[in-house]
Amino acid sequence: MVGEENVLVDAAARLARATGLSYLDLLRRRAASADFPVPDAVVLPADPDEVQAVLDVCVRHDVGVVPFGGGTSVVGGVAALRGEKASVIALDLVRLDALVSVDAESRIAVLQAGVRGPAAERLLGEHGLTLGHVPQSFERATIGGFAATRSAGQASSGYGRFEDMVTGVRLATPRGPWKLGVAPASAAGPDLRQLAVGSEGTLGVITEVALRVRPAPQVRRYEGYALPGWTAGAEAVRDLAQHHALADVTRLSDVDETEVSLALNAGLKTAALRRYLAARGVRRPCFLIVGWEGTAHDVALRRRETTRRLKAAGAVRVGKALGESWRHGRFAGPRQRDVLLDMGVCVETLETAAYWSNVDELRDDVRAALTAALGRAIVMCHISHAYETGASLYFTVLTARDEADPVGQWQRAKAAASEAIAGLGTISHHHAVGVDHAPYLGAEIGSLGVEVLRAAKSAVDPTGILNPGKLV
């Protein structure tokens, strides 16, 4: 029904849809004998109706279905697990690549699930619009994946998290099509859009998403500040968040991450910058990237308010170069990992979020857990998303790889960090649950929460073909 050329059974095609991009995925792919599960076939439907038709066949033949978008999951979200099914397919949604409709008056665009970040911006750009969703996975990840995982972009302070942009969602399920979202807000029972968003392919295959869009910005202004230490930096970001003065991008590095930036960033005259900051009382700087996007009028107005508060908080302006160099390298992180892996480095990231009163303790505890598990390690941290009530914490870890047991080395560190997170924050702010975080979900949403998700899944997927072994 999708055409023979859209059912791939060759090894290369199947291997390409077998893993995501976590450090463990990269290790597995480099191993001489790849010992990870691989889908039995890759199926590429053309549109939502074909997705539904494929699901119907999979129900009849009891075949597991792993929805596949950009393949950028770092939590095992696209692992080709088959659960109790004899066979499993990767349902690659890349052919669902259309901008379905634009309602300029309501500022809503409907995009198909397989549209990648750059294509979404190009399609919307033709209408003078932008989505403004720029996570680090932007270049490869898809609209359906953003929705399925509750993604958050680097400009989430301005454009919102992905779930804030979702006004409607269309799914194919084993029980038939399901469409949600008729108004910007509703009191017609629980918001089931927020059940579909984050369901990670377990409650249906997201085929289309209706999204709040905005006019493409006329002006983009990015710049850097330095704060005197982590506590002062976090306080400054909290002040901005609680006074509705956040820039669209607001990203605070801790001292360790700032030192790495200073060491690696060729665009900065490091020695002169250190002297300049020290003369202004900033001896252990924490870099803060702030970026505004919009009309010239709005950017000027909002920038004035943000910088007024930043200066009152003791921030010293570093200038445009720092902001622009961050902006141009913003998607490069994942690509650099392969180089580091070649050099024998264990490199991975993990993230969480907490209420403000827990942020410092959470950062200390996760750092301590990682250092205790790994021994000598560089642990960097930044706040990438700030809210009135709290913030996210994003950790980057580098250490010498234990060549005897590289997988076990990271699994132990990750488990230690996850244990430190439980009780103080969420197991994931924007990476989702997948396989890796599933053991910690019950502690966060309660065993009743897990049972509610399972019950919801049973209602739409009674035979359990959808993404076996993920989320719950």
Chain positions 270 to 309 lying near a second copy, rule: CB under 8 A, are 298, 301, 305
Contact pick of 95, 220, 378, 387 for a second copy (by CB under 8 A)? 387
Q: Which is nearer to a second copy, 22 or 173 (by Cβ)?
A: 173
Residue closer to a second copy by CB (options 293, 324) is 293
From residue 353, give the alpha-carbon distance in Å to each of 34, 136, 349, 362, 449.
Answer: 34, 17, 14, 9, 19
**104 or 264, CB closer to a second copy?**
104
For a second copy, the binding residue among 11, 12, 32, 188 (CB under 8 A) is 188
CB of 258 to a second copy, least distance (A): 24
- Nearer to a second copy among residue 109 and residue 226 (C-beta): 109
Dihedral angle of Cα 399, 149, 432, 391, to the nearest 10 degrees: 80
CB within 8 A of 88, min separation 6: which ones? 37, 39, 40, 63, 64, 65, 66, 80, 81, 82, 468
Q: Is 306 annotated as a binding residue?
A: no
Q: Which of 385, 394, 410, 414 binds a second copy (CB under 8 A)?
A: 385
How many whole angstroms separate alpha carbon 355 and alpha carbon 374?
27
Cβ within 8 Å of residue 103, ≥6 positions away: 109
The answer to whether the beta carbons of residues 121 and 131 sit under 8 Å apart is: yes
The amino acid occupying position 243 is H
Place of tokens 């119907």: 56
Report the alpha-carbon distance of residue 124 to residue 302 in Å, rounded. 25
Among positions 33-72, residues that touch a second copy (CB under 8 A) are none
Q: Is 151 assigned a ligand-binding role in the annotation?
A: no
Residues 75-104, interacting with a second copy (CB under 8 A): 103
The residues assigned a catalytic role are: 394
Kindly tell me which residue out of 34, 83, 84, 186 binds a second copy, with binding defined by CB under 8 A: 186
Site for a second copy in 422-451 (CB under 8 A): 424-433, 437, 440-441, 444-446, 448-449, 451
Q: Is 218 in the site for a second copy (CB under 8 A)?
A: no
- Cα distance between residue 191 and residue 145, in whole Å: 20
Distance CA 333, CA 272 (A): 27
CB nearer to a second copy: give 209 or 346.
209
Q: Output the smallest distance, CB 202 to a second copy, in A.
A: 9
Task: Tell me the one-letter amino acid at 176.
Answer: G
Please give the backbone phi and psi of residue 88, each rounded to the nearest 5 degrees, phi first: -145, 140
* Near a second copy by CB under 8 A: residue from 319, 355, 361, 372: 355
Q: Which helix (H) or strand (E) holds 220?
A: strand 219-228
Number of chain positions touching a second copy (CB under 8 A): 89
| Residue 203 labelled as part of a binding site | yes
Q: Please, what is the minimum distance in Å from the beta carbon of residue 239 to a second copy?
A: 11
Token code pair at residue 5: 């050329």
Helix (H, G, I), strand (E, B) or coil at 432: coil
Distance CA 403, CA 31 (A): 12
Output the 3-class SS for 228-256: ECHHHHHHHHHHHHHCCCCCCEEEEECHH
Contact call for residue 392 and a second copy (CB under 8 A)? yes
- 267 assigned binding-site residue: no
Query: Using CB under 8 A as the criterion, what x/- string covers residues 136-155 for binding a second copy?
Result: -------------xxxx---
Residue (33 or 357) nearer to a second copy, CB = 357
**x/- binding map, residues 235-274, to a second copy, per CB under 8 A?**
---x---xxx------------------------------
Q: Does 187 bind a second copy (CB under 8 A)?
A: yes
Q: Does 178 sit near a second copy (CB under 8 A)? A: yes
Q: Is 228 annotated as a binding residue?
A: no
Q: Is 123 annotated as a binding residue?
A: no
**Strand order of the sheet with strand 41-43?**
7-8, 41-43, 88-92, 64-68
Per DSSP, the three-state class of 172 is: strand
Our measurement of the distance from residue 16's CA atom to the centroid of its chain's CA atoms, rounded to an integer in Å, reads 21
Single residue of 56, 191, 259, 419 touching a second copy by CB under 8 A = 191
Q: Which of 12, 185, 266, 271 binds a second copy (CB under 8 A)?
A: 185
Q: In the 8-state DSSP scheme, what is residue 216?
A: P
Q: Is 66 annotated as a binding residue?
A: no
202 assigned binding-site residue: yes
- Residue 73 marked in a binding site: yes
**Quick one: 72 or 399, whose CB is closer to a second copy?**
72
173 binds a second copy (CB under 8 A): yes
- Least distance (Å) from a second copy to the CB of residue 81? 17
Residue closer to a second copy by CB (options 52, 258) is 52
Contacts (Cβ under 8 Å, ≥6 apart) of 157: 241, 246, 247, 248, 249, 250, 385, 386
Of residues 262, 334, 454, 463, which one binds a second copy by CB under 8 A? 454
Summarize the annotated binding site for substrate as residue ranges.
337
